[in-house]
Structure 1
């Protein structure tokens, strides 16, 4: 049994010789001080134990077989070129394929970032303590407005930001309202310093000064952003009701619905004031989509909205998401450069055609805006 086990072990060691374990025999050196082993194929199939007289012949045959095995490319112990080729070519291709697939599958989680920075969805509206105002509230009056859900839109929250002193004045009236469309990340509260620069003159605690316009800002949090209802968190996003899903058509519908409601106000500080649409970053593309919807839609509320629009402000807008993909991956030798055709929410602002139902759209006639005011 021990001899059989040793033969099996030798077979695995000398596998390139392509002989079965029975074709090997062991010739022991009679000297106990030099117990060497000579392994050689048996020339006969009798399976007999090799005699000492067989040693020269077996050694010659073994040497010949070892030389043949060394010259066999299949059994060569040289550089494993096939393995190296798989590592150098197959591994990058596999990694690129995997990343490209993830970019396509989870693209909306990369375009819309309502959870970034962490805490953006749960941040509370700051409140004054009565003795010292919160740093975000200095010179500002904040009013959170909730819009109930509809068949095509979830419950939405918006923030009306007014300068403090005109609000306290009995004769206060706004010169205009800025309808603010935010970028793809964060929440409305993160934009309060920007709103203060728009509303509060430098060196004052609020209110008008000289020729400074008395403006108000309304910032809507579309579906999924800040405290507005939206899609379920990952990994349950796929279970979200269709009216709550975060995508291009839904975001445009949210802004259009709220803008129409604001334009319909006939009483209060927002009555009959001109409205400027201000889009920042991705909000600039949303603004283009929104105005194309307003000017080319037959919805009953769009006529009143058109009469209130006074201007458009585009701050660092993007031409389209496919354009941004090619800008982020400019090299044509990288596969991510060719993912643009797989973009679902294109937010295309360069197309001359305007259609609220098209997946790509959108430009609109600037002269049709009230007073032809556009700041780009």
Structure 2
């Protein structure tokens, strides 16, 4: 039997069903996709295009004033980690190493201009080197699923490599954005007595947790996305570990003299998150921790501002 068109007007219920049901179905679909592919959203080693295949000295060339060495580290199992060691040409035996924890996109090569700016200040670059290791699924490191447990392991191996290669140097842990949440989570699991050479902690535009970031990105409580943070696999709850860290942990030691820098006009991470971490950190006797707001800076360009590179900002970090 063939269907014939009719001139009947669609029922009110059908119209309401189409008007309400279609947006609802799209919301449900997007929520499911955000949960299923959340690690593709959190860990974007594939951004920008070509970030996984860039070559040092070919696609990215450091300035003539610095040397940039490509390093390779063995992680857990078959995990291979790649990174770069950047320092002034005049530095042969660095006495201070910044171990850099990157944000959620790009690779260490893309941060070379940042490192060159830090090294351009004579008061900061004396006997200083910067080591940036790409965790799994970033740059040339092993292409395997990134997880909180996996990245924690990768950076622990990076810290061990730094300590063994530079046994007489002081180490400063420097985290930006996602890296600013990873550093506290890692340091909270380590004992201070086992890492006596780790002397400083710098957090630049850190976020308090992944669930907190979801709520910040979707502040409207009537949207279902606002509540998806509780379904995240990797929480990176830096605020929790900073608030509840023990005095014996590496984080407990470092938080008393840490430096927190936030960009005044950060368009991605609310500056209040960095402020929360700062106030949650230990402030007992002898605390020299500092909180600095970079006036006019955005999330990714704070390094361009002189305020980030002033010696006064780093004065609280032990460098002996």
Retained in 1: the 8 A contact 2:188–2:251?
A: no
Matches within 5 A, 1:110-125: 110-125=41-56
Post-superposition offset of 1:210: 6.2
Cα 1:258/1:12, change in 2 over 3 Å: closer
Match of 1:250 among 150, 164, 170: 150
TM-score with structure 2 setting the length: 0.73
What is the SS of the residue equivalent to 2:44?
A: coil
Describe the superposition over 1:143-164 as per-residue Cα deviations: whole angstroms up to 9, x where unpaired: 111113543x601112111111
Which residue pairs with 2:141 in the alignment? 228
Which residue pairs with 2:160 in the alignment? 260
Match of 1:160 among 78, 85, 90: 85
Match of 2:232 among 343, 353, 357: 343
Matches within 5 A, 1:9-48: none
Which residue pairs with 1:147 in the alignment? 73
Which residue pairs with 1:374 in the alignment? 258
Distance in 2, matches of 1:210 and 1:322, equals: 39
Cα 1:229/1:275, change in 2 over 3 Å: same
Distance in 2, matches of 1:12 and 1:220, equals: 67
Retained in 2: the 8 A contact 1:288–1:364?
A: no
Post-superposition offset of 1:318: 0.6
Cα 1:338/1:127, change in 2 over 3 Å: closer
Post-superposition offset of 1:86: 1.1
Which residue pairs with 1:190 in the alignment? 110
Post-superposition offset of 1:354: 4.9
Post-superposition offset of 1:118: 0.5
Which residue pairs with 1:178 in the alignment? 98
Q: Which structure 1 residue ranges, 5 or more long, are not aligned?
A: 1-7, 16-75, 129-133, 168-172, 202-208, 232-244, 296-301, 356-362
Which residue pairs with 1:284 in the alignment? 180
Which residue pairs with 1:98 in the alignment? 29
Match of 2:119 among 178, 188, 199: 199
What is the SS of the residue equivalent to 1:114?
A: coil
Post-superposition offset of 1:165: 2.0
Which residue pairs with 1:137 in the alignment? 63
Distance in 2, matches of 1:163 and 1:309, equals: 22
Distance in 2, matches of 1:248 and 1:325, equals: 17
What is the SS of the residue equivalent to 1:332?
A: coil
Task: Please state if 1:87 is matched with 2:87.
Answer: no
Describe the superposition over 1:260-291 as per-residue Cα deviations: whole angstroms up to 9, x where unpaired: 232133xxxx2311000000000011101111
Cα 1:366/1:12, change in 2 over 3 Å: closer
Higher relative contact order (CA 8 A, sep 6+): 2
Which residue pairs with 1:65 in the alignment? none
Post-superposition offset of 1:364: 5.8
TM-score with structure 1 setting the length: 0.63
Distance in 2, matches of 1:211 and 1:155, equals: 31
